[in-house]
Chain A
């Protein structure tokens, strides 16, 4: 891609700075321990997990563009398959780095690679993530190396299947937590898959429009409009799953306390849910996409940014709100103790957590920007596509 040298190097410098700050935060966390984060023995997964899960889920969802092209043969999407694969690798690298650096002992990541507990869904995910890296790399190769082109369809199909399993695995991390009110639901894997469609496509829109803008190219408005409509459909489908998850919980008497907390009187969490996820993450993007006088390139990009923002809000409520509500260890009893039994757990994210999370986004940004510069990831649209 031909964007100006100066712009390219400033982008690399800015991204590099964000990554360095993230690494510095990780260094501080390793030096002092997690005491410098907002996490504690009640909220054991904090803001880094919100960033990491967003990126990992989006890494799977962004491949949708490639799948629609390779598996379902749509030319507009096929032209974007390489960029979709690149974004997937970039997001996965960013998300996994955050996840790894948030470990209590990131220096022991080798232990995770050499000791494998077959009953652990975390351990399955280690294979699923590395498998996705490998498969997407092969897929990119089959697309970019002409002699390998005939293999791109089977490779695309393999990626298509693999990412479904991968996001199922991400959902299962929570679905297997039987004792926690917020999790332990078989609805979570399909919910994560559908959510990944929306987040992944939103990230794709943002990345694509940035690349077009930075290289001074004009993006065909009808293509943006068409892909914008698809984003709208994904957003609605994701909303359906989130609604079904909360409605089933509302129906169970033993879950009503938790739902009341998340949806009404939990302070920050209901606010984030309704304003962040509901209004900014769903209502506004849908208006921007489907309102007859909107839906142009700029609205679609704005809608995508809002979907991403809403995604972070939803994950914050899901991951942190889900832990803040007290575990029901003694049903029928009101409990209190020095260890937070029966109480809403407190959590306020600290600066190192923010830095680490943004550092992960920075890694994804750096990988994308540098790769787009050195290899041909730009969509090449043929005129007059009929499909």
Chain B
């Protein structure tokens, strides 16, 4: 073997080694900064089962946790909620018009399998993630509000004012539409949505609807639960028990 070839090999070895040394810390830091970077999968469908029997009339803990976790003012700035304030989650008090039975439940984006908001959005800013979470791309939303007209659950809010002190995990923007993200930033970190965690009576059960072994799938198999406006055929990810 010629001397030149040996030298070339040496050179290549050293180069590769140096390159690895140079790139490795960057890769490690990238990993550390982004946490788990596995893509979301359609094998998972996140959902909730809300037991209205355990939802106390007058309790607002889930809504407060939602506002806090997502950086919504929740009426604190204006001394009470105004019709222009964003409400990703709200408590609805219901009274059966025939029997008179009353109940209370939290209402938010139902994360439909066939979301009308996604169908009507002209720019594709409204979209559904592979794991079933319906989101708004705030960079793509032009603020036409057609999704708000199309949503059967009135789950969406429009940002009417400039925003201050945003939560860096939950970027929002004046002039765009927003709604419950099922606390996607928490789910991606392996946590529960803020509302489910905050409920003192554990009325909100969060889990993977597609996993037959999950607690939520088991409960849905054994207790009677309904989807709100099931007649629309949207197959919501939020189910209610006792409605």
Contact = CB atoms under 8 A, between A and B. Distances in A.
Interface of A: 30, 32-35, 39-42, 44-45, 103-106, 108-109, 111-112, 115-117, 119-123, 126, 173, 176-180, 183, 323, 327, 329-341, 345-346
B69 interface: no
Contacts of A330: 92, 94, 228, 243
Contacts of A179: 116, 150-152, 229, 232
B87 interface: yes
A334 B96 CA distance: 6
Interface string B224-236: 0000110010000
Contact of B96 (A120, A177, A332): A332
B159 A337 contact: no
A346 B149 CA distance: 16
B97 A33 contact: no
Contacts of B75: 338
B112 to A, nearest CB: 11
Given A115-B124, A119-B119, A179-B116, A104 B142 contact: yes
B242 to A, nearest CB: 13
B144 A103 contact: yes
Contact of A33 (B83, B152, B161, B229): B161
B154 A333 contact: no
Interface of B: 75, 81-87, 90-98, 107, 116, 118-125, 140-146, 148-154, 156-162, 173-177, 228-229, 232, 243
Contact of B143 (A103, A115, A119): A103
B107 A337 contact: yes
Contacts of A32: 161-162
A27 B87 CA distance: 27
Given A112-B123, A332-B96, A33 B144 contact: no
A335 B175 contact: no
A345 B175 CA distance: 21
B8 to A, nearest CB: 49
Given A45-B149, A104-B145, A329-B107, A337 B175 contact: no
Contacts of B119: 119-120, 176
A33 to B, nearest CB: 5
B70 to A, nearest CB: 16
A345 B83 contact: yes
A178 B154 CA distance: 13
A41 B83 CA distance: 6
A40 B120 contact: no
A274 to B, nearest CB: 26
27 contacts: A40-B84, A44-B158, A45-B145, A103-B144, A104-B143, A104-B177, A105-B141, A111-B142, A112-B123, A116-B122, A116-B124, A117-B123, A122-B121, A123-B122, A123-B123, A173-B146, A176-B120, A179-B151, A327-B153, A331-B229, A333-B95, A334-B94, A334-B97, A335-B94, A337-B92, A339-B90, A346-B83
Contacts of A177: 149-150
A333 B120 contact: no
B97 A332 contact: yes
Given A104-B177, A329-B229, A339-B154, A33 B159 contact: yes
Contacts of A332: 96-98
B93 A35 contact: no
Contacts of A336: 92-93
A94 to B, nearest CB: 18
A177 B151 CA distance: 8
A117 B124 contact: yes
Contact of B158 (A30, A34, A111, A341): A34
Contacts of A122: 120-122, 144, 146
Contacts of B120: 119-122, 176
A309 B18 CA distance: 78
Nearest to A119: B119
Contacts of A109: 142
Given A45-B145, A117-B124, A338-B87, A33 B140 contact: no
A104 B96 contact: no
A39 to B, nearest CB: 8
A333 B52 CA distance: 14
Contacts of A112: 122-123, 142
A329 B152 contact: yes
B29 to A, nearest CB: 33
A64 B142 CA distance: 33
B116 A178 contact: yes
